[in-house]
Amino acid sequence: MTLFGKDPRLLVRQAEPFNGGPGPDALLSSFVTPNELFFVRNHGAVPEVDPAAWRLTVDGLVENPLSLSLADLQRFPRRSAAATLQCAGNRRMEMMAVAPIPNELPWGTEAISNAEWSGVCLRDVLAAAGPRAGALHAAFTGLDETERHGHRFHFGGSIPLEKAMRPEVLLADTMNGAPLPAVHGAPARVVVPGYIGARSVKWISRITLQEEPSDNYFQAKAYRLFPASTGADNVDWEAGMMLGESPVNAVTCSPLEGDRLPAGPVTARGWAVAGGGRRVARVDVSADGGKSWKTAELEAVGDGWTWSFWRAVIDLAPGEHEILCRAFDSAAQTQPDHPAQVWNFKGYANNAWHRVRVVCG
Amino acid sequence: MTLFGKDPRLLVRQAEPFNGGPGPDALLSSFVTPNELFFVRNHGAVPEVDPAAWRLTVDGLVENPLSLSLADLQRFPRRSAAATLQCAGNRRMEMMAVAPIPNELPWGTEAISNAEWSGVCLRDVLAAAGPRAGALHAAFTGLDETERHGHRFHFGGSIPLEKAMRPEVLLADTMNGAPLPAVHGAPARVVVPGYIGARSVKWISRITLQEEPSDNYFQAKAYRLFPASTGADNVDWEAGMMLGESPVNAVTCSPLEGDRLPAGPVTARGWAVAGGGRRVARVDVSADGGKSWKTAELEAVGDGWTWSFWRAVIDLAPGEHEILCRAFDSAAQTQPDHPAQVWNFKGYANNAWHRVRVVCG
């Protein structure tokens, strides 16, 4: 075991703060990612939280502001649900090959994992506080601290109140049946299925109902989507779209980039995921640059909040090949062909066709 | 005025049953499409319905089956909402240019319109009937009759009960402030914002709560999405995805295909729409085949249930140009580049980049 009890197979993208995720083979080894393999996205040091002293404040546009101990929180009805979390920056490295993206983590395809969470429904806690008229967003603040542009502050973000009141949104205190690990937000974190991982705030300490989205840096500036013509030098932060639901995405985990394989039938395997509660309807694989596609078999079918695993057998002649994959979601939406089409200077939401080059024979 | 009180500017794609919609210039003339311009998608003759004799049956997995007169229905609380409806076959003609799609309507870009609907919330009616455990879908049957494969039957379809219980789904009896026109489903129709038009069943006569989706031909076989390798000769109907929410889409309405324009600044205008309550976050225009994109201005911003209108000024040198447009929705999803990438033998859900060729100078 290494830092934070993580599996040594984690690809570590940054040591401090600690950021890493499971490589393609490790990732595909289990539909429910073991805690020691689950990817980690930290914006600051892991805070040391004394569970006995921890309080969750619920305030803002509520009838009854709350200050809950862990025992208070755990008195709400319990709920368990599987949910796949994915960093908005997953697959950024492919965008970096199009044009530089400085000062951001060079994620390959490993900033995604799937766990069974349990805890209480956020909406039950909000109902106890009593949302007041005018409340449109639930803003979350964590206990982790970070620094940007000379200011030191806590990580935070928000989701629309309509989403916060949906049954799938949890305040989780366990992960795959174990107490929530420190690096994943102990004693309690938000889990917002179907949204970019950044909204699933760890080490949750405050939930504020308010009229506007959070003014935290990670909601107001970072995690916004800009056109390719926008850069750090000309950015108008207000003009970018605040990221929420994730777009449909798919990745080939096997074979690996650069693999040498016998010519003939090759089994490609990987994951696909849709956002916002949409399901993965279909995964296609192509070995001719997208001129023709073969429909993959969904070997583990997720619901609207989890990924699916897929496999397809394709026949490859001797020589070099590029294996492409793409998914369709239940809203008949599919993926753009190349990262250049979705490139943005922060490197978010890359859901272009995934490409793996192999040599056969 | 012509047939069914429609504007003579309607592009009529089929005379019987009557199918047509407003050409690009007519469509762009008003954010709320006047009734006489609103597109018409019929699968059979317009039924003659006596409003005094009309009844709406609500049955299936309900505690209290209902048989409502129009007056009964109109006693529920009233609600008005704008909603854009779009046929799943809109832009099929561009797919037909990739490979033939026999026996389907050759829609250009005109199978879409936007109206202000009023009526009652479907969920209020369903609540009065009392959904029973096990009810997962609301199946709709209209009074219009059609024939397929030698069988004569009523048009129908279904939506998940979770969607049926959302506030935006209406049983509408007025359209843009006027009584619902006969050709649009008088005396009452379903309006399912964010879904393909086929689920907004006109001349509604029966709503059945059930465990499974409707077994009507238009739910069980038609309006399913298949891969390009599937054709009428090898189709396994069960294998296709039942269409529900629409994918993000955008079209240039001005200039028109083939227009001759002075070189210099050209103003492109059009619509964009997202499905499932997602919003249009951005529209891009390209005149260099998608190598670079200019962000359009949203001149009329819709909510999650309506389209948006956009405009962009692009500088065109003398010569031939292709103007491309594409949109991003609030889930960071965008469109595929070419209809070949989404081609399917029924010609549904074409949301490839829209292309308009013009000559300048």
For A61-77, the pLDDT digits (tens) are 999 999 999 999 999 99
Q: Are the Cβ atoms of B336 and A336 closer than 8 angstroms? A: yes
Under the banding of pLDDT at 50, 70 and 90, the label for residue B288 is: very high
Burial of residue A309, with CB atoms counted within 10 A of its CB: 0-12 exposed, 13-18 middle, 19 or more buried? buried
Say how far residue A92 (Cα) sits from the centre of its chain. 13
Average pLDDT in the A236-263 region?
97
Residue type for position A291: K
Distances, alpha carbon B307 to alpha carbons B115, B164, B295, B298, B323, in Å: 10, 21, 17, 11, 20
Which one of A228, A281, A328 has the shortest CB-CB distance to B293? A228
pLDDT in tens, B221-246: 999 999 999 999 999 999 999 999 99
pLDDT in tens, A189-200: 999 999 999 999
pLDDT at A1 over 60: no
User: What tokens were used for A279?
Assistant: 């399901």
pLDDT at B2: 67
Say how far residue B73 (Cα) sits from the centre of its chain. 25
Half-sphere exposure of A255 (CA within 13 A, CB side): 23
pLDDT at B149: 85
Q: Are B271 and B28 within 8 A, CB to CB?
A: yes
Which residues does chain A have within 8 Å of residue B281's beta carbon, measured at their own beta carbons? Answer: 225, 241
- E strand or H helix that includes residue A96: helix A92-96
Instruction: Give yes or no for B188 touching A (CB within 8 A).
Output: no
Give me the phi and psi of A165, to 5 degrees please: -90, 5
Interface A-B, measured as beta-carbon pairs within 8 A, has a size of 100
Which residues does chain A have within 8 Å of residue B337's beta carbon, measured at their own beta carbons? Answer: 336-337, 341
| Closest listed residue to residue A225, CA positions, set B333, B294, B270, B301 | B333
pLDDT at A149: 84
Q: Please identify which residue in the block is written with the tokens 């190598």.
A: B291
Tell me if the bond preceding B255 is cis, omega within 30° of 0.
yes
Query: Strands B10-14, A297-300: parallel, antiparallel or unpaired by DSSP?
Result: unpaired
Burial A319-339 (b: 16+ CB within 10 A, else e): eebebbbbbbbbbbbbbbbbb
Helix (H, G, I), strand (E, B) or coil at A73: helix
Helix (H, G, I), strand (E, B) or coil at A5: helix
Considering only residues 290 to 309 of chain B, which have any Cβ-Cβ distance to chain A shorter than 8 Å?
290, 292-295
Average pLDDT in the A7-32 region?
94
> How many whole angstroms separate alpha carbon B88 and alpha carbon B43?
13
pLDDT in tens, B9-25: 999 999 999 999 999 99
Q: What is the mean pLDDT of chain B?
A: 97
- Among all residues of chain A, which has the CA nearest to that of B247? A333
3-state secondary structure chain B: CCHHHCCCCEEEEECCCCEEEECHHHHCCCCCCCCCCCCECCCCCCCCCCCCCCCEEEEECECCCEEECHHHHHCCCEEEEEEEEECCCCCHHHHHCCCCCCCCCCCCCCCEEEEEEEEEEHHHHHHHHCECCCCCEEEEEEEEEEEECCEEEEEEEEEEHHHHCCCCCEEEEEECCEECCHHHCCCCEEECCCECHHHCCCCEEEEEEECCCCCCHHHHCCCEECCCCCCCCCCCHHHCEECCECCCEEEEEECCCCCEECCEEEEEEEEEECCCCCCEEEEEEECCCCCCCEECEEEECCCCCCCEEEEEEEEECCEEEEEEEEEEECCCCCCCCCHHHCCCCCCCCCCCCEEEEEEEC
**Model's pTM, two decimal places?**
0.96
- E strand or H helix that includes residue A92: helix A92-96
Instruction: Give yes or no for A244 touching B (CB within 8 A).
Output: yes
User: What tokens were used for B31?
Assistant: 């954010």
> How many whole angstroms separate alpha carbon A28 and alpha carbon A269?
8
pLDDT at B122: 98
pLDDT in tens, B323-353: 999 999 999 999 999 999 999 999 999 999 9
Distance from CA of B139 to the nearest CA of A (A): 19
3-state secondary structure B141-157: EEEEEEEECCEEEEEEE
Q: Are A37 and A174 within 8 A, CB to CB?
A: no
Q: Please identify which residue in the block is written with the tokens 């489903």.
A: B185
Number of C-beta neighbours around residue B62 at 10 A: 18
> How many whole angstroms separate alpha carbon B110 and alpha carbon B249?
13
What is the rounded (10 degree) CA torsion for A352, A354, A355, A356? 160
Say how far residue B145 (Cα) sits from the centre of its chain. 20
Average pLDDT in the B61-77 region?
98
Average pLDDT in the B308-324 region?
98
pLDDT at A3: 82
Q: Are the Cβ atoms of A295 and B335 closer than 8 angstroms? A: no
Which one of A229, A295, A333 has the shortest CB-CB distance to B333? A333
Q: Are the Cβ atoms of A293 and B229 closer than 8 angstroms? A: yes
Instruction: Give yes or no for A166 touching B (CB within 8 A).
Output: no
Q: Are the Cβ atoms of A330 and B275 closer than 8 angstroms? A: no
- Among all residues of chain B, which has the CA nearest to that of A289? B341
| Closest listed residue to residue A80, CA positions, set A170, A182, A164 | A170
Number of C-beta neighbours around residue B238 at 10 A: 8
> How many whole angstroms separate alpha carbon B25 and alpha carbon B79?
31
> How many whole angstroms separate alpha carbon A138 and alpha carbon B135?
32
